[in-house]
Each structure stands twice: as structure tokens, then as C-alpha cells.
Amino acid sequence: MRAIRITPPFLAACAAALLSACVAAPLNTEISPLNDARTWIAKAKAAGAEQCAPALQAEAVGQLYAAAHEYAEGNVHPDEQTETAAAATTAAKKAYAKCTNHPQVMRLTGVYFDTNSAHLKSASEATLNHAIKVLKANKKSDVEIAAYTDSRGSSSYNLKLSKMRADAVRDYLRNHNIAANRLTAKGYGESHPIASNASAAGRSKNRRVELHLK
């Protein structure tokens, strides 16, 4: 059997080998499914979240690592991959909102009313039930329900209609165990359009309901 010569390079190799065995490889967060979470964490950090919202920012980063771990495992827990990534994004958005005083906006795509009415169509239930889940997961957030119309009709009519629609959504949430004292409803009428009112597609985008989490 050949004797091993203990030379300085051998010592260095042993030390390096032991060091690498002790220090785990870092989790890879630089993967595309985590782009959104990373982007929001960076935005929150740039807004000073490590000082003004340290717990939320830490939650975001912790969830990012957890998500990276879930993705590194492959498809062992596919639900947890998306859940942890979404949790990281949500926490970072909240940290950013807290540090910038901007409310976190959740657009309720899929809430429909009868024409010229505040009567919610049954097709809205899936979207509203998802919103309820989000609000139950964010118990400390107060929420403004903001409704908007397109520009057809008079501005005073649109203001009134949007307020009635915001009230209808508030009532739905309240009837599904979201505390009334967390909810305020506000109609903005045709103000704050997000698309051109010159086209049907644009007007459809402008008719919307948003939750502003504060």
C-alpha cells in the first residue's frame, strides 16, 4: 500500500474538501418561476424595506428560499412551488407598499355586473371567493373596494353607479365573513381610466373593481 505524503498542498486540499462538505451549496433563486418574487423583493429593498418593513421583507426572502428549495426538489410538491413563490411576492409587495405608502392593488378581473346595474352576476363568484381567501390570509390589512366605470353616460351617473357596485362587492365580502370594519367602498366613476374609452376593449378594461390593501 502506498503511503500518503502529507504535504502543504495535501493539507490545503483536505481543508477545502472539509469546508465544502460543511458549507451547503446555496439555494438557486435565479430561476424563471421566481422572477416576480425576486423583482418585488429588489423593489422593496430599494424602497428601504429592511428598515421600514423588516418582518415583511424577511418573510419575503425566507419564502423565496423556501420556493427555491421546492423547485430544486423537482415536482415533489408542485403546489408548494407556486404557493411559496406567490407568498414571497405577496410579502414583498406588502413591504414595498408599507415603505412607499402605496396601497397594494388587487384588480378583480372577472367581476361582472348587469348593464347599468350593481347586481353582481354569478360568474363573479370565483373571483370574489379568491379575493376572500387573500383577505383572510392578510387579516391585518384594511381594504378599500374601489369601483370604476367607463366614460359612457354622465359623470354623475357613473360616479353613483360605481359607488353602488363598490357597495355590492363590499356586501358580498362582508357576507362571507370579512369583518365590516376592515372594508370601505368607494366609487370613482369614470376617473382614473387605465385604457382608452374610444374602443370597446378599452372601455371593458376601465369598467373594473380593485381592492386596495393598506
Binding site for other proteins (CB under 8 A): 6, 11-12, 14-16, 18-19, 22-24, 27, 49-51, 54-55, 57-59, 61-62, 65-66, 69
Query: In whole angstroms, how close is the CB of 203 to other proteins at the nearest point?
Result: 45
DSSP 134-179: HHHH-TT--EEEEEE--SSS-HHHHHHHHHHHHHHHHHHHHTTT--
Q: How far apart are CA 81 and CA 40, in angstroms?
A: 17
Query: In whole angstroms, how close is the CB of 106 to other proteins at the nearest point?
Result: 24
Phi and psi angles of residue 104, each rounded to the nearest 5 degrees, phi first: -80, 125
Residue among 69 and 174 whose Cβ is closer to other proteins: 69
Query: In whole angstroms, how close is the CB of 40 to other proteins at the nearest point?
Result: 16
Letter for the amino acid at 180?
Answer: A
Query: In whole angstroms, how close is the CB of 213 to other proteins at the nearest point?
Result: 21
Query: In whole angstroms, how close is the CB of 49 to other proteins at the nearest point?
Result: 8
Residue among 6 and 200 whose Cβ is closer to other proteins: 6
Residue among 12 and 126 whose Cβ is closer to other proteins: 12
CB-based contact 96:72 (threshold 8 Å) = no
Ramachandran quadrant class, 24 (left: phi over 0; alpha: psi -120 to 50; beta: rest): beta
Name the one residue in this structure whose C-alpha cell is 412607499: 100
CB-based contact 128:169 (threshold 8 Å) = yes
Residue among 43 and 107 whose Cβ is closer to other proteins: 43
Residue among 50 and 167 whose Cβ is closer to other proteins: 50
